[in-house]
Amino acid sequence: MTKSTPSSGNVVWHHAAVDKKRCEQLNGHQAVNLWFTGLSGSGKSTLAHAVEERLHELGCRTFVFDGDNVRHGLCDELSFSIEDLHENIRRIGEMVNLFLEAGVIALTAFISPMRRDRQRVRDIIGDDAFIEIYCRCPLEVCEQRDVKGMYKKARAAEVANYTGISSSYEEPLNPDLILDSGTRPLYECVEAVIQFLRERKVVE
């Protein structure tokens, strides 16, 4: 885990007595980040919430960071420019890091189209805690699922820099887990994630 350097030289990191290890012991599981990435419509949010439900049944402490929800508060002033997309993901990485310090399993559902941004989150929270899950889904299937009508607007040039249409998506090179969310049933994807977490000893 790396900590960014604040702009002011008068800020010193305070080390809490109740640290991550003690929180993990209390919660009975490791604190990790499940980073769901993929095109809009690939099923990231649906899968993240379904996995959270399953983890909740197992007695885990969890929180889902959803791309749209974060835009309503923490990042409400950011646009969809390249610069602001970088900043959006950076803020999420720092917020996730705080939740991990509390021993929580943080699930994040973001398109996060650029590899450099996903790598930055990995650098912030640490390689062991960052689990990259690629929701692989063909563009045509994502467009068929276009519940918000954004692909249609992007095709009509009403929306600029839309990932998959006017802006590229950089597929993960070595994701921890690949789920064919365009063809595989939701329950199978959920169980694949839970099985992966058990193999990694995150949960029992």
Per residue in 70-87, pLDDT (tens digit) is 666 767 777 677 788 888
Q: Is residue 119 in a domain?
A: yes
Do residues 117 and 89 lie in contact, with contact meaning Cβ atoms separated by under 8 Å? yes
Q: What is the CATH number of the domain that holds 113?
A: 3.40.50.300
Q: Is residue 4 in a domain?
A: no
Domain region containing 126: 20-138+170-199
pLDDT digits (tens, 9 = 90+) for 99-111: 999 999 999 999 9
Residue 112 among the catalytic residues: yes
H/E stretch holding 142: helix 139-144
Domain count, the chain: 1
14 has pLDDT over 90: no
CA–CA dist 91, 157 (Å, integer): 29
Q: Is residue 160 in a domain?
A: no
Number of other residues whose CB lies within 10 A of the CB of residue 123: 14
pTM of this prediction?
Answer: 0.89
Place of tokens 């996995």: 51
pLDDT digits (tens, 9 = 90+) for 141-163: 999 999 889 999 999 999 888 99
| Backbone CA torsion sign across 83, 89, 92, 97 | negative
Q: Is residue 104 in a domain?
A: yes
- HSE (CB half, 13 Å, CA atoms) of 118? 27
CA–CA dist 104, 102 (Å, integer): 6
Question: Which pLDDT belongs to residue 88?
Answer: 84
Q: Is residue 7 in a domain?
A: no
Catalytic residue among 112, 166, 167, 168: 112
Q: Name 93's Cβ contacts closer than 8 Å, sequence gap at least 6.
A: 120, 121, 124, 125
Q: Is residue 59 in a domain?
A: yes
